[in-house]
C-alpha cells in the first residue's frame, strides 16, 4: 500500500530553506543513525512537492570490501542474513524474525563488518553500520514521519544529532490514503513565526 503525500509551502520563508523528512527506528537505541529519507529543496511559496510513502520495504547489505548486495523485498516479520557463498558475500532470507513487527539482518560472515540498509519508495530510509560477525540489525517503524526545516542536508545521508534535535514535528500516517502537508510560519524580524506543519485534505484508507 502506498500513501500519496503532497507538501505545500504556505510559509513566509524567504531563505529557500530545506524541508527534511525522516523516520525513527523504534527498535533502536537513542544514538541510532537517522537517514535523510526525503529532502525538499527550492520549493517556493505556493508551490507543492508530491511524494509517496510506501509500506513496501527492501533491504540491502554492504560488506567490508565495499560491495553492496541487490535489494530484496523485506516485510515486517522477516529475517535476513549475510553469508559467504561460493561467489562471494550474499544477502539471503533467513526465515521469520523474532517479532512480527521487525525486520532483522544478521551478519553471518566469519569475518568483516557489514552495513544493513532499508529502502522505502526507492530511497534509503534507515541504516545500521559496523555490524560485526554475529551481530544483528533490528528495524521497526511506526507509520509516521518526522518533518522540519533544516539547512545543508543531503538526501540519503546520515543526519547529525544537532539537526535531529531541531526537528520536533511527528505526523502519524496511520489509516491515511492521501493528504496534503502544509507548511506555514517563517518570515523575518518581528513578524517571524515558528514553522508549523499540519495535514489538510485528508483521505482515509
> Hey, is 186 helix, strand or coil?
strand
Confidence (pLDDT) at 190: 83
Nearest-10 Cα torsion for 23, 28, 31, 33: -50
Alpha carbon distance 17, 121 (integer Å): 24
Confidence (pLDDT) at 30: 59
> 37: how many CB neighbours lie within 10 A of its CB?
24
**In the predicted structure, residue 36 carries a pLDDT above the cut 90:** yes
Confidence (pLDDT) at 32: 74
117 beta partners: 60, 127
Confidence (pLDDT) at 31: 64
Alpha carbon distance 123, 71 (integer Å): 11
**Mean of the per-residue pLDDT values of the chain:** 95
Closest CA to 27 of 103, 96, 95, 82: 103
pLDDT-derived band of residue 29, with 50, 70 and 90 as boundaries? low
pTM of the predicted model, to two decimals?
0.94
168 beta partners: none
Domain covering 2-54+143-204, topology: Immunoglobulin-like (2.60.40)
- All structural domains of the chain with their residue ranges: 2-54+143-204, 57-139
pLDDT in tens, 96-136: 999 999 999 999 999 999 999 999 999 999 999 999 999 99
Half-sphere CA count of 187, side-chain side, radius 13 A: 12
Q: In this predicted structure, which of 27-36, 133-142, 164-173 has the lowest mean pLDDT?
A: 27-36
Confidence (pLDDT) at 39: 98
Q: What is the average pLDDT across 171-188?
A: 96
> 71: how many CB neighbours lie within 10 A of its CB?
16
Alpha carbon distance 165, 136 (integer Å): 27
**In the predicted structure, residue 76 carries a pLDDT above the cut 90:** yes
Amino acid at each position: 500500500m502506498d500513501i500519496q503525500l503532497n507538501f505545500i509551502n504556505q510559509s513566509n520563508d524567504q531563505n529557500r530553506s530545506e524541508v527534511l523528512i525522516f523516520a525513527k527506528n523504534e527498535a533502536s537505541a537513542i544514538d541510532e543513525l537517522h537517514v535523510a529519507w526525503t529532502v525538499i529543496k527550492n520549493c517556493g511559496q505556493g508551490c507543492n512537492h508530491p511524494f509517496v510513502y510506501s509500506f513496501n520495504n527492501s533491504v540491502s547489505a554492504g560488506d567490508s570490501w565495499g560491495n553492496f548486495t541487490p535489494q530484496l523485498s523485506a516485510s515486517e516479520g522477516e529475517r535476513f542474513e549475510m553469508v559467504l557463498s561460493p561467489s562471494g558475500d550474499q544477502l539471503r532470507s533467513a526465515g521469520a524474525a523474532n517479532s512480527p513487527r521487525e525486520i532483522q539482518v544478521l551478519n553471518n560472515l566469519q569475518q568483516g563488518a557489514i552495513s544493513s540498509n532499508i529502502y522505502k519508495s526507492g530511497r534509503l530510509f534507515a541504516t545500521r553500520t559496523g555490524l560485526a560477525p554475529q551481530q544483528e540489525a533490528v528495524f521497526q517503524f511506526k507509520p509516521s514521519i518526522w518533518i522540519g526545516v533544516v539547512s545543508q542536508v543531503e538526501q540519503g545521508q546520515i543526519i547529525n544529532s544537532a539537526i535531529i534535535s531541531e526537528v520536533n514535528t511527528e505526523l502519524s500516517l496511520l489509516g491515511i490514503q492521501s493528504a496534503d502537508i502544509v507548511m506555514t510560519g517563517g518570515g523575518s524580524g518581528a513578524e517571524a513565526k515558528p514553522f508549523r506543519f499540519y495535514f489538510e485534505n485528508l483521505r482515509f484508507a
